[in-house]
């Protein structure tokens, strides 16, 4: 049996790109904060898989289609030198399309990635900017880092102001 992989699961909006308070409906609105490419490169150099897990309810609401989600992912790949290993997104919203186990705070997308890539949760992390990201990560026994930019309460095992700070926490901590 091949050795298990270690992974950093990344929420998208508010982690890999600036949270605009509303949905990104145009590629031109994408802003990748300073430090994000460096953070991804540090984590990749340390042997982590980097997998994006994102809720994209704007699809269910008819604001944009899946092609925009893929286009934004490609733009992020260009900005980071192709550091991201995969993208999983949930196109549903409970008020429009009904409940889905793939929508965070549920953990189906994490479970699928863990199975596909033979990931060891005890060596892996979830980095997000919402309590629902932390909840999804904890459901599959990941360590969690809550990126806190306002006055909200951090609900993760750790908290940081941005992805670069989160990457430094991960690299300094080793594994559980």
Q: Is residue 115 part of a domain?
A: yes
Is 1 within a domain? no
pLDDT digits (tens, 9 = 90+) for 20-75: 877 898 899 999 999 999 999 999 999 999 999 999 999 999 999 999 999 999 99
pLDDT > 90: percent of the chain:
84
Q: How many domains does the chain have?
A: 1
pLDDT of residue 130: 94
Confidence of residue 94 (pLDDT cuts 50, 70, 90): confident
Mean pLDDT across 96-123: 95
175, pLDDT greater than 70? no
Select from 8, 5, 39, 11 the least CA-distant residue to 132.
Answer: 11
What is the tens place of the pLDDT at every residue in 56-71?
A: 999 999 999 999 999 9
Q: What are phi and psi of 164, to 5 degrees?
A: -65, -45
For residue 144, tell me if it sits in a domain.
yes
User: Annotated catalytic, 29?
Assistant: no
pLDDT of residue 129: 95
**Which residues are registered as beta bridge partners of 144?**
126
Q: Is 11 a catalytic residue?
A: yes
Its domain, for residue 49, covers: 6-173
- CATH of residue 159: 3.40.50.1000
**E strands present in 58-170:** 86-90, 125-128, 143-147, 158-160
Q: Who's near 116: CB < 8 A, 6+ residues apart?
A: 86
* Residue 158 neighbours by CB under 8 Å, 6+ apart: 143, 144, 145, 146, 166, 169, 173
Residues 6+ apart with CB under 8 A from 78: none
What's the whole-model pTM score?
Answer: 0.95
Question: Which of 11, 129, 133, 157 is labelled catalytic?
Answer: 11
Give the up-direction half-sphere exposure of residue 97: CA atoms within 13 A in the CB hemisphere: 15
pLDDT value for 99: 87
């Amino acid at each position: 049996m091949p050795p298990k992989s270690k992974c950093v699961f990344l929420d998208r909006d508010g982690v890999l790109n600036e949270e605009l308070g509303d949905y990104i409906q145009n590629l031109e609105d994408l802003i990748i904060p300073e430090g994000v490419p460096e953070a991804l490169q540090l984590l990749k150099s340390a042997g982590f898989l980097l997998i994006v897990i994102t809720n994209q309810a704007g699809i269910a609401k008819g604001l944009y289609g899946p092609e925009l989600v893929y286009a934004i992912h490609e733009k992020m790949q260009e900005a980071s030198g192709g550091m991201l290993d995969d993208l999983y997104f949930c196109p549903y919203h409970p008020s429009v399309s009904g409940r889905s186990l793939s929508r965070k705070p549920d953990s189906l997308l994490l479970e699928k990635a863990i199975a596909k890539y033979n990931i060891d949760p005890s060596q892996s992390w979830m980095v997000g900017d919402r309590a629902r990201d932390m909840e999804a990560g904890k459901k599959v026994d990941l360590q969690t880092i809550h990126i806190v930019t306002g006055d909200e309460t951090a609900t993760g095992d750790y908290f940081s102001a941005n992805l670069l700070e989160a990457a430094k926490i991960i690299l300094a901590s080793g594994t559980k």
